[in-house]
Amino acid sequence: MIDLVVIKDLEGMVGREFVSTHEEDLIANSADALKQPHRPDIVVFPRTAVEIAAIMRLANQRLIPVTPRGGGVGYTGGCVPLHGGIVLNLSRMNQILTIDDANMYAIVEPCVITKTLMDAADVKGLFYPPDPASMKECTIGGNVAENAGGPRCVKYGTTKQYVLGIEFVTPTGEIIMSGGPTPKNVAGLDLHSLMIGSEGLLGIMTRIWLRLIPKPAAKRTLRACFPTVRNAAECVTSFAGKRMTPSALELIDQLSINAVEDARNFGLPRDAKAMLIIEVDGSVPEVERQAGVVEHLCLAHGGYDLIAAKNDNEAEELWEVRRAISRSLMKYGNKKINEDIVVPRSRIPELFDQLAVIENRYGLLIPSFGHAGDGNIHVNVMLDQNDPDQVERAHNAVKEIMKAAVDLGGTISGEHGIGYTKAEYMPLAFSPETISTMEKVKRALDPNGILNPGKMFPIGIRAKDC
């Protein structure tokens, strides 16, 4: 499929040095955080929208699968080239083009690291709230493609709340601009919103306009331990009754606490069945008031060992506990099935009750943690991937976990997306008519099914026997 003529054409579009069939590049672009590699045939490193448009036109002519790639830190295989072909590695498109502090927006290329944008905005007294745990590695383009969130989305929302406009290249090679720097814009169809959460199925983003907001004057970060997960979960739901919304509200269960303590020795109390990390922000008087409410609610629900960070460094130490969990869990098995289910916040206690039942039924450890403030819990089914019985039990456990989330009024993914790893669960969350409509949108924009085939829907270039 990738012959010498195609290689020469690609080299003519982007430059010979930015087209690679070297083994190390093929391997480096074959997997994401799941570490389930599928090698591409070739890797291309474009620099402009014009170059990407030319590549997509060639790919359509030759029916070559194309997979866009940003930071490569996803958990659902979104950037994995399941059917080989071309990987469009966007790492050269990594510039912050503008930070307009007067109008409070930024223009960025898709491979700007999220933390880089946060820091650049902070210098100007501005704030970009979406804060995925992988913020030091993930890219803005990937965040938009997955509609990524993070701890702060309980108050500030996910990435979609900050996207003002997107320039993107369609699967057939047209360059489209939708939206722009103005926060109010109802002229024409809202095409850029179609790109948010599209997981690289509908186009390749080349520039993104992002809304920034004023930086909060103050913040306070607190930690509390609880005698049961239900105590902690019920504390989470109690904030609504006080008509206040913490800027972040994270729940960590005992398995996760012990794993991160073994790995990093933070001095966490191992007897705690659960822990909450809570952050409030706003004006100085409002932060003081909210911090008092947090302490009161934690104590009222059995919380103990309360710690309030005295400065930014101490707050960062509390958050480092949360960020260190994911890698630390590997003490429980050589494979982790990391799911990011969502339920209404009021149903978090029921969710944890059901997780305990599933854990006992299948005899597997299922450490869980995450963004309890908006009901988004990261459920990790741990197993020995070399044990076929455990693999089967784990797969069945995940099916039950997905169904439990949907039955509780939630859904199968809050921020990791669907990719190929969750495609089989789509019928749990959506009616056949809804899935069919999504597929029609995909076919309309990508008639040859070449862009990121094999993800989310069972359609694409391979389904057409090309």
Whichever domain contains 362, its CATH number is 3.40.462.10
Residue that terminates a domain, selected from 191, 214, 237: 214
Structural domain includes residue 466: no
Q: Does residue 228 share a domain with residue 205?
A: no
Residue that terminates a domain, selected from 357, 381, 407: 407
Q: Does residue 368 share a domain with residue 279?
A: yes
Structural domain includes residue 240: yes
Structural domain includes residue 433: no
Q: Does residue 282 share a domain with residue 377?
A: yes
3-state secondary structure of 262: helix
Residue 442: CB atoms within 10 A of its CB come to 22
In DSSP notation, 173-240 reads: S-EEEEE-S-S---SS--HHHHHTT-TTSS-EEEEEEEE-EEPPSEEEEEEEEESSHHHHHHHHHHGG
Residue 461 predicted with pLDDT over 70: no
Q: Place 465 in a pLDDT band, splitting at 50, 70 and 90.
A: very low
* Tens-digit pLDDT profile for residues 338-392: 999 999 999 999 999 999 999 999 999 999 999 999 999 999 999 999 999 999 9
Q: Does residue 148 share a domain with residue 242?
A: no
Residue 310: CB atoms within 10 A of its CB come to 10
Q: Place 236 in a pLDDT band, splitting at 50, 70 and 90.
A: very high
Q: Does residue 154 share a domain with residue 239?
A: no
Residue that terminates a domain, selected from 43, 71, 91: 91
Structural domain includes residue 395: yes
Structural domain includes residue 339: yes
State the residue range of the domain holding 45.
4-91
Q: Does residue 385 share a domain with residue 263?
A: yes
Spatial separation of the C-alpha atoms in residues 457 and 438, rounded to whole Å: 9
Q: Does residue 374 share a domain with residue 268?
A: yes
Spatial separation of the C-alpha atoms in residues 378 and 339, rounded to whole Å: 6
Structural domain includes residue 347: yes
Q: Does residue 320 share a domain with residue 251?
A: yes
Lowest pLDDT segment from 131-135, 143-147, 174-178: 131-135
Residue 225 predicted with pLDDT over 70: yes
Q: What is the CATH number of the domain that holds 77?
A: 3.30.43.10
pLDDT at 147: 96
Q: What is the CATH number of the domain that holds 119?
A: 3.30.465.10
Q: Does residue 201 share a domain with residue 174?
A: yes
Q: Does residue 359 share a domain with residue 280?
A: yes
Residue 283 predicted with pLDDT over 50: yes
pLDDT at 243: 80
Spatial separation of the C-alpha atoms in residues 133 and 293, rounded to whole Å: 26
Residue 450: CB atoms within 10 A of its CB come to 25
Structural domain includes residue 198: yes
Q: Does residue 224 share a domain with residue 203?
A: no
pLDDT at 466: 31
Return the DSSP state at 16.
Answer: G
Q: What value does the mean pLDDT of the chain take? A: 95
* Count of structural domains within the chain: 3
Residue 463 predicted with pLDDT over 50: no
pTM of the entire structure? 0.93
Q: Does residue 108 share a domain with residue 52?
A: no
Structural domain includes residue 265: yes
Instruction: Give residue for tokens 């206040």.
Output: 244
**Helices 284-300 and 229-238: angle between axes, nearest 10 degrees:** 140
